[in-house]
Structure 1
Amino acid sequence: MTESMQELDELCYLTSQSMTSLVTSEHFKVLKKLGEGSYGKVMLAVHKKRGTPMALKFFPRHSTTLLSFLREYNLSLSFCTHPSLTRALGIFFSTPSHYIFAQQAALYGDLYDVIVSEVGVTEEQAQSVMSQLSGAVSHLHSLGFVHRDIKPENVFLYDRRCRWVKLGDFGLVRARGTQVRPVWYNSPFCVPEVEHAKEERKESNGDEEEEEEETWMLVEPSLDTWALGVLVYCLLTGCFPWEESTSDDSGFRSYRNWFNYMKNKEEREAGLNGWSHGNQEDRRANEEEAEVPVPSQFESLSSLALTLLRKLLNPSPCHRAGPDEILSYLGGAWLLETEKEEKRKEKKAQEEARKIREGGGGVEEDREREGKRER
């Protein structure tokens, strides 16, 4: 158990001793619903004495254990110190029907609300959001925690233009190395190792059908990296790259085939470059292998974005990059149209430089000659 996990458990024990019962309406004016999910609901409220706006997160007692409630509350209060992580406000209590804690209110909705279907968001917005989430997730990982539920609905907006976002909803957060039942098996965010885990489980038990809850996996940071890669794609295209990360899904299958082709091609080229003359048979095989094109759903993305996604969406979890990898790809073109425009400008600048070197002059020199003629 990590030091942070030990501290979290101690905080849960201490706060369990100070849980109070309150009547919500006596202390808060509840204004409207901000969100709802399997956990319960989040309501926008104002503290009656202080006038402070906040979000109250309601957990039904019949479906929530006190420990799980206190873990999410204390994690958000004491460990989510990064500016792009939603923090609890130090207020928690119970009613006969709910456990409740207060957190920072996201007044502008979540990322799902601003992603235009089949369009996405602007390239600038996409890079800004991913820059912030990269830092937030890296912070959690540095403490030994894995979020396990990164998706547009859990990224909250703190301004209208999507310039400041916070990752929230820490109900599925677990310590690295914990064994858990896999989630999202039928989701685009599900990691491909879930399918492998299920297959291995089935093989070890013969041909008997295995229920999903009988499959267990280790919690690793690579789970979050995969989700971040899928989120990059969603922001840039307004779509999901596939319905689920399994062999039965044609979208994922085409991506995996292309990924393996690119991986093998790079490995062969690296091996050939290591020889002064190279192996002729290897060279011939390299040239004759049928090229696997970029999957159709990725054709709108630039070469820079494709390289980033290959690092984040590596089917092998042990070779998957970390969240910080995103920072190395900021500032460049993530969409093919932007990449083409940048290349056009670069070509124009190179042509202008060539004219100057050859003595033909450039735009400024032409303007100067024109001015002299007029005088």
Structure 2
Amino acid sequence: HEFEELYDVLEEFGTGAFSVVYSVRSKRCGPRGSERAAKIMNKDTFIDEVQMRRVRDECRALAELRHENVIELFELLESPTKVYLLMELARGGELFDRIVSRGSFSEPQAIRVIRQLLGVLSFMHSRGVIHRDIKPENILLASSEGWDIKVSDFGLVKIIEGIAGSCSGALLENSLNSLPSVGFAATSTCCSSAADLQRTMTFCGSTYYMAPEVAWHFRRLGEGYGSGVDVWAAGIVLYILLSGAPPWDQAHIPQPPTGNGSSGVPNKASGVSFPGDLFGSVSVDARNAIEEMLIVDPKARPTADQMLHHRWLQPEMEPVLLRSGSRLS
């Protein structure tokens, strides 16, 4: 077992439907920089070709998406029964846990987090990658005190276009190429038609953060959805950061317009409210940023890159917030 020969397991970090994550220490390195996060998946859980392809796509996305706000994949190992992803260890834990411990964030803190999140989403989308499961549990913090984030868990990733270039190195590339021999789908993850470059049809994601076009797409067969689902999820994250609560119950996701007005929601409306007890000290610009990201009609919703130019997310906003008396700590 190559993994056991190369790494010592330190402690369990968390479990998912198909994997367990541990902190591990490399036996090949000195004490500095030798700790990694190991995501271990049992091949027995790969019940069909779809699940196999998702694991392969997660590996491919992590290997190729080199960005300071994406968790780094260092190594991919396999045994007859398991697949091991050796990744960067984010010592600050999940953003979710920090929200639970703090209740809500100040506007400058929320700006730091959301600016990074939108930046990495813009980077991913420009390369034809949709995360499809953006939520606080999948946003890690690099340190226990700082605000640098690392987007993780690409288990539901959609690779719409081939990712240009290869930054993964020969060892990792060889490991990826070997996966079809142990039961992974060998077909390309790239889409072939012009329509495929814009839309995907899979019903997936976490309900609280699910965009209307995903939750309701089965009523609009043939339309699918695009990268705007990640922007919607980022808007939900921002709402929670500033209030400590989700904008609505998971059973009441707004319905996107159908073109005949049957949804009852104008194309540019978000349908989100800002209760005074939660948003009384939150600036108008912050509320507007949330409204923009939570526009129900995906055709009217801004892209991640467009949101990065929103007034509230500009560096000069902090002194404005100080003068206005918005909540800062």
**Both structures adopt the same fold (TM-score exceeding 0.5):** yes
Alignment of structure 1 residues 80-91 onto 2, 5 Å = 80-89=65-74, 91=75
2:57 is matched with 71
The answer to whether structure 1 residue 181 and structure 2 residue 202 are counterparts is yes
DSSP 3-state at the match of 1:159:
coil
Contact 1:147–1:170 (CA under 8 A) maintained in structure 2: yes
How far apart, in 2, do the equivalents of 1:87 and 1:35 lie? 18
2:243 is matched with 237
Residues 75, 163 of structure 1: alpha-carbon distance in 2 compared, 3 angstrom cutoff: same
DSSP 3-state at the match of 1:234:
helix
How far residue 338 of structure 1 moved from its aligned partner, in angstroms, is: 6.2
- 1:115-147 Cα offsets, whole Å, 9 max, x none, are 037831232221111111111111100001111
DSSP 3-state at the match of 1:34:
strand
- Number of aligned residue pairs: 269
The answer to whether structure 1 residue 197 and structure 2 residue 217 are counterparts is yes
DSSP 3-state at the match of 2:153:
coil
Alignment of structure 1 residues 1-375 onto 2, 5 Å = 22-51=1-30, 52-64=34-46, 66-78=52-64, 80-89=65-74, 91-116=75-100, 119-174=103-158, 175=160, 176-184=197-205, 187-200=207-220, 218-244=224-250, 246=252, 260=266, 295-296=274-275, 299-300=279-280, 301-324=282-305, 325-328=307-310, 329-330=312-313, 331=315, 340-341=324-325
Moved more, 119-128 or 24-33: 119-128
- 1:312-364 Cα offsets, whole Å, 9 max, x none, are 10000011011131443224779xx967427xxxxxxxxxxxxxxxxxxxxxx
Contact 1:68–1:171 (CA under 8 A) maintained in structure 2: yes
Normalized per residue, which structure has more helix? 1
DSSP 3-state at the match of 1:100:
strand
DSSP 3-state at the match of 1:57:
strand
- 1:239-287 Cα offsets, whole Å, 9 max, x none, are 11112273689xxxxxx98x85986xxxxxxxxxxxxxxxxxxxxxxxx
Contact 1:125–1:162 (CA under 8 A) maintained in structure 2: no
Contact 1:191–1:245 (CA under 8 A) maintained in structure 2: no
DSSP 3-state at the match of 1:62:
helix
Contact 1:29–1:46 (CA under 8 A) maintained in structure 2: yes
How far apart, in 2, do the equivalents of 1:313 and 1:245 lie? 16
How far residue 194 of structure 1 moved from its aligned partner, in angstroms, is: 3.4
How far apart, in 1, do the equivalents of 2:272 and 2:21 lie? 45
RMSD: 3.2
Runs of 4+ in 1 over 4 A off after TM superposition: 259-263, 292-295, 331-334, 337-340
How far residue 58 of structure 1 moved from its aligned partner, in angstroms, is: 0.8
How far apart, in 2, do the equivalents of 1:60 and 1:339 lie? 54
Q: What's the % identity of the aligned pairs? A: 25
For structure 2, list consecutive stretches of 5 or more residues without a partner in the other structure.
161-196, 256-262
How far apart, in 2, do the equivalents of 1:35 and 1:106 lie? 13
How far apart, in 2, do the equivalents of 1:149 and 1:107 lie? 21
2:188 is matched with none
How far apart, in 1, do the equivalents of 2:90 and 2:17 lie? 19
Contact 1:192–1:245 (CA under 8 A) maintained in structure 2: no
Structure having the higher Rg? 1
How far apart, in 2, do the equivalents of 1:262 and 1:23 lie? 54
- Match of 2:112, as an amino acid? S
Structure showing greater relative contact order (alpha-carbon pairs closer than 8 Å, 6 or more residues apart): 2
Contact 1:61–1:97 (CA under 8 A) maintained in structure 2: yes
Contact 1:82–1:136 (CA under 8 A) maintained in structure 2: yes
Residues 70, 184 of structure 1: alpha-carbon distance in 2 compared, 3 angstrom cutoff: closer
For structure 1, list consecutive stretches of 5 or more residues without a partner in the other structure.
1-21, 202-215, 250-255, 264-291, 343-375
How far apart, in 1, do the equivalents of 2:212 and 2:58 lie? 27
